[in-house]
Chain A
C-alpha cells in the first residue's frame, strides 16, 4: 500500500465518519426539536419544582418558603422518628391496598360484562363509565352526605336492614375503608373505559377459533382475554397505583386526615404541613420520600410485572 493511497483512504474514511456523525447529530437535533415543547413544559412545571423541593427539604425555611438555614438531613431524621409520619405511611399503603386491587377487579368485571354484544349495551357502557365525568370534589360531597351519621342514607340503609349504625367517617376503624369505597366508585369509570378499550382491541378471530375448538368460556377468559389484555391491565395497574399514592381531594373533603390521623395519607400530610402549619422543609422532605417511594414501586412493577405482559 502506497502512502498517498492510504492517505486517501483515511481521508475518505474520516469524511464518511464526519458525514455520519453530522447526520446523526442532525437527527438528534431534529428529535430534540420535536420534544422541545414537552421538554419546556416539563422543565417549568416538573423538573424545576422537583429540584426546588429537593433543595428545600434540606433547609429550615420561614412561612413563605424562603430558606433560612441549612438543616442537613434533620427533616428526614425527624420524619422517620415521628409516629405521625409512620401512621401516614401506613395509611397510604393501606389505602393503595384497599383501592387498587378491588377497583381493578370491579372495573374488569364490568368491562367484561359490557363487552358482550347485546342490544342497548351502549347505555350500560355509558353508565359504567359515567363516574369519569364527575369531579373528585363533587363526588366527595355526595359521599359525604351519604356517610353523614345523623341524616345519611348509608346508616338509614343499615338500620333498615336491621344492622347497627356505623360512624362511617368518624370511627378510626371505618374511616379509611369508607374513603376507599368512595374512591373505588370514583375511579371505576376511568379504569372501566381503558379496560373496555383493551377488550375491544382483541382480535375476534381468536374467540372464533376458541369456539370452534369448543373450550369453556372461563378457559378462553384465562387463556385468551387476560393475556391479550395484559398490556392494558399493566398500564391500568401502574396508573391506578400512582393515583392512589397521590390521593388528596376526597381525603380533604371527607375526613381532613382524621379521625386520629387514620386517613392522613402522605399527600394530605404534605399539604397540611406545607399550607396549614407552614413547615415547608418537613413537607418537602415528605414529598421527596413520596417521589422515591413511587419511583421504587413503579420500577418493581416494571421489573416483575412486565415479564408477564404479552405484547403482540
Chain B
C-alpha cells in the first residue's frame, strides 16, 4: 500500500518535472518560429509600443498604428495597452533593460524626471541631430516640457491642459452671462455664490495634484526650487509661496461658504457630478471636453483657468504624456521607432488625433487642416483649450516642475487639499505638504547617493 503511494508520488513529481521541461521546449519552439517569420518577411521591423490610452482613445491609438503599418512595408508597430500611466510605468520598471522591454513607451509628464534618471532610455535628440529634423514645427510650449538642458528626451504625443468648464444653462438661470466665464478668483467666488442653490453647488476642483500645480503656474508660482528643478536637482519644495496659498485659500474660503463641492479623487465622479447638475463649474482636462459636450444634457462652456485678481496671467503647464524610446535595443528598432514617432507628429495624423481625443496637436500646422476647422465650428470649446496654450508665456513656471518624486509630492498635496475640508488652516495644510515633500526629496537624494 505504502509503496504504491510512494510510486504514485514519484510518478506525479516526474510528471511535473517533465511537464515543466516540455513547456520550456514549447517556448523555444515558439521563439524559433517567431524568428522564422521575422526572417521570412525579412525587412519588417517590429516596434512594440506600450501605451496607457484606454476606452475610445485606445481605438484611436490603434488606428494611428494601423494607418502607419499600411503606409509602408518595413515597419510593423504593435500598440499594447498597459493600464494607467502609473501601472504602465511600474511594468516598464520591471522589464527595462531586458529583451521584453518595449521599443516605445508612453509615460505621463510627471514621470519625465524618473525616466531620465532610469538610464534605460534613448533621448530622441540623437535622431533629431542625425537627421537635422526640424523641431521648430512643434508647439513650443509642449516641446519645452520634454526638453531638459536643451536636449529633447522624448517625443510629445498627447498633451492636455486644464480649463474651466461650466454649465451655460445654469449660468442663465442664475442671471449670469453664459458667454462670459469668471476669469479671476473674485469673479469665480461671485458666480459660485449665485450658482449655489438647492441641490446645485457653484464650483469644484478634483482632489488631484495636477490641478493645484496648474493653478500655481497660472500665477507664475514655482513648485520646487532650482527653477522648478530645471536648473539642477530640486532639493526643496516651494509651493507654499504666496501663489500657492492663494489657491488653498480660495478652496478653503469657498468650501466654508458652501459654494465649493468636494468631489473626491475620482475623475468620473467629478464628471458625473457636473453632468447630473450637482456642480455648475469645475476644472477639467482639455482631453475630457469633447465627451463632456457630447454627453451633457445642457450647454457646456469652456474658458481659461481663473487667476487671482492682481496676478499676471502666465498660462498653463502642459499635461499628458510623451513617447520615450528605450535604450539597449537594436539600432534598427530604434530607427524604426523614430520613423513612427515622426509619422505621429505629422499635421494630418495630429489633426485626427486632436479631434478624436481632445488632446493638443503637437504640430500646430494640424489646426490649419480642414477637418479641424470644421469641427471647431461645432465644438468651439476645443478651440478655447488650444488658445489658452498659445497664450501661455514660456517660463520656468509654465514649463512645469521636474522632480523624481512627483507622484509622492502629488499625494501630499492631495492630502493637504482634503484636510481643507476638515477646517485645517490653508497655510498649515500647505506647509505640511511642503515639509513632507521635502522629506521625500531628501530620501530620494539619499538613495541616489548625492
Interface residues of A (CB under 8 A from B): 30, 33-34, 36-37, 60-64, 68-69, 78, 84, 144, 148-151, 167, 169-170, 172, 255-256, 258-261, 272, 275-279, 282
B16, B266, B436: the one contacting A37 at CB < 8 Å is: B16
Contact between chains at B276 and A272 (CB < 8 Å): no
- On whether A150 and B418 interact (CB within 8 A), knowing A30-B6, A170-B262, the answer reads no
Measured between alpha carbons, how far is A167 from B90 in the docked complex, in Å? Answer: 32
Q: What residues of chain B lie closer than 8 Å to A148, measured between beta carbons? A: 269, 272
What is the 8 Å Cβ interface bit string for chain B, positions 406-450, against chain A (1 contact, 0 not)? 011001001100110110000000000000100010010011110
Contact between chains at B86 and A33 (CB < 8 Å): no
What are the nearest 8 A-B pairs in CB distance? A150-B273, A150-B278, A259-B418, A277-B408, A170-B264, A260-B418, A60-B447, A275-B90
Contact between chains at A68 and B449 (CB < 8 Å): yes
- On whether A149 and B447 interact (CB within 8 A), knowing A37-B16, A260-B419, the answer reads no
B12, B13, B118, B436: the one contacting A63 at CB < 8 Å is: B118
Contact between chains at B278 and A276 (CB < 8 Å): no
Q: What residues of chain B lie closer than 8 Å to A278, measured between beta carbons? A: 93, 114
Shortest CB distance A71–B (Å):
9
Contact between chains at B6 and A258 (CB < 8 Å): no
Q: What residues of chain A lie closer than 8 Å to B262, measured between beta carbons? A: 167, 170
Q: Which residue of chain B is the closest to A261 with respect to CB atoms?
A: B415
Measured between alpha carbons, how far is A78 from B447 in the docked complex, in Å? Answer: 14
Contact between chains at B440 and A149 (CB < 8 Å): no
Shortest CB distance B55–A (Å):
16
Contact between chains at B264 and A276 (CB < 8 Å): no
Contact between chains at B418 and A172 (CB < 8 Å): yes
Q: Which residue of chain A is the closest to B443 with respect to CB atoms?
A: A279
Measured between alpha carbons, how far is A88 from B90 in the docked complex, in Å? Answer: 23
Q: What residues of chain B lie closer than 8 Å to A172, measured between beta carbons? A: 418, 422
Contact between chains at B86 and A149 (CB < 8 Å): no
B266, B273, B408: the one contacting A276 at CB < 8 Å is: B408
Q: What residues of chain B lie closer than 8 Å to A68, measured between beta carbons? A: 447, 449
B13, B90, B269, B414: the one contacting A258 at CB < 8 Å is: B414
20 further contact pairs, Cβ within 8 A, besides A36-B13, A63-B93, A260-B418: A33-B10, A64-B93, A78-B443, A148-B269, A149-B264, A149-B273, A150-B272, A167-B262, A169-B264, A170-B418, A170-B421, A172-B422, A258-B415, A259-B264, A276-B90, A276-B411, A277-B405, A277-B411, A278-B93, A279-B443
Residues of B within 8 A of A (CB-CB), count? 43
Q: Which residue of chain A is the closest to B436 with respect to CB atoms?
A: A84
Is B265 in contact with chain A by the CB < 8 A criterion? yes
Is B371 in contact with chain A by the CB < 8 A criterion? no
- Segment 252-303 of B: residues with Cβ below 8 Å from A: 262-266, 269, 272-273, 276, 278
Contact between chains at B114 and A63 (CB < 8 Å): yes
A78, A167, A275: most-surrounded residue (chain B CB, <10 A): A275
Measured between alpha carbons, how far is A249 from B16 in the docked complex, in Å? Answer: 33
Shortest CB distance A88–B (Å):
12
A37, A60, A151, A167: the one contacting B446 at CB < 8 Å is: A60
Contact between chains at A277 and B415 (CB < 8 Å): no
Q: Which residue of chain B is the closest to A173 with respect to CB atoms?
A: B422
What is the 8 Å Cβ interface bit string for chain B, positions 237-264, against chain A (1 contact, 0 not)? 0000000000000000000000000111
Q: What residues of chain A lie closer than 8 Å to B269, measured between beta carbons? A: 148-150
Is B106 in contact with chain A by the CB < 8 A criterion? no
Q: Which residue of chain B is the closest to A34 with respect to CB atoms?
A: B9
Contact between chains at B6 and A33 (CB < 8 Å): yes
Contact between chains at B264 and A64 (CB < 8 Å): no
Shortest CB distance B135–A (Å):
29
Measured between alpha carbons, how far is A277 from B404 in the docked complex, in Å? Answer: 9
Q: What residues of chain A lie closer than 8 Å to B272, measured between beta carbons? A: 148, 150-151
Shortest CB distance A275–B (Å):
5
Contact between chains at B414 and A64 (CB < 8 Å): no
Is B363 in contact with chain A by the CB < 8 A criterion? no
Measured between alpha carbons, how far is A7 from B263 in the docked complex, in Å? Answer: 91
Measured between alpha carbons, how far is A60 from B449 in the docked complex, in Å? Answer: 9
Measured between alpha carbons, how far is A30 from B8 in the docked complex, in Å? Answer: 12
Contact between chains at A150 and B276 (CB < 8 Å): yes
What would 5 A/B residue contacts be, using CB atoms closer than 8 Å?
A: A37-B12, A63-B93, A64-B93, A170-B421, A255-B265
Measured between alpha carbons, how far is A258 from B273 in the docked complex, in Å? Answer: 19
Q: What residues of chain B lie closer than 8 Å to A30, measured between beta carbons? A: 2, 6
A61, A144, A169, A258: most-surrounded residue (chain B CB, <10 A): A258
Q: What residues of chain A lie closer than 8 Å to B96, measured between beta carbons? A: 64
Q: Which residue of chain B is the closest to A159 with respect to CB atoms?
A: B199
Q: What residues of chain B lie closer than 8 Å to A255, measured between beta carbons? A: 265
Q: Which residue of chain A is the closest to B87 with respect to CB atoms?
A: A275
Q: What residues of chain A lie closer than 8 Å to B12, measured between beta carbons? A: 37
Shortest CB distance A141–B (Å):
11
Q: What residues of chain A lie closer than 8 Å to B443, measured between beta carbons? A: 78, 279, 282
Q: What residues of chain B lie closer than 8 Å to A150, measured between beta carbons? A: 263, 269, 272-273, 276, 278
Q: Which residue of chain B is the closest to A61 with respect to CB atoms?
A: B447
Shortest CB distance B36–A (Å):
33
B6, B266, B411, B418: the one contacting A272 at CB < 8 Å is: B411
Q: Which residue of chain A is the closest to B422 with respect to CB atoms?
A: A172
Measured between alpha carbons, how far is A34 from B405 in the docked complex, in Å? Answer: 49
Measured between alpha carbons, how far is A128 from B229 in the docked complex, in Å? Answer: 57
Shortest CB distance A82–B (Å):
8
B9, B16, B117, B408: the one contacting A33 at CB < 8 Å is: B9
Contact between chains at B415 and A276 (CB < 8 Å): no
Is B94 in contact with chain A by the CB < 8 A criterion? yes
Q: Which residue of chain A is the closest to B96 with respect to CB atoms?
A: A64
Is B143 in contact with chain A by the CB < 8 A criterion? no
Is B207 in contact with chain A by the CB < 8 A criterion? yes
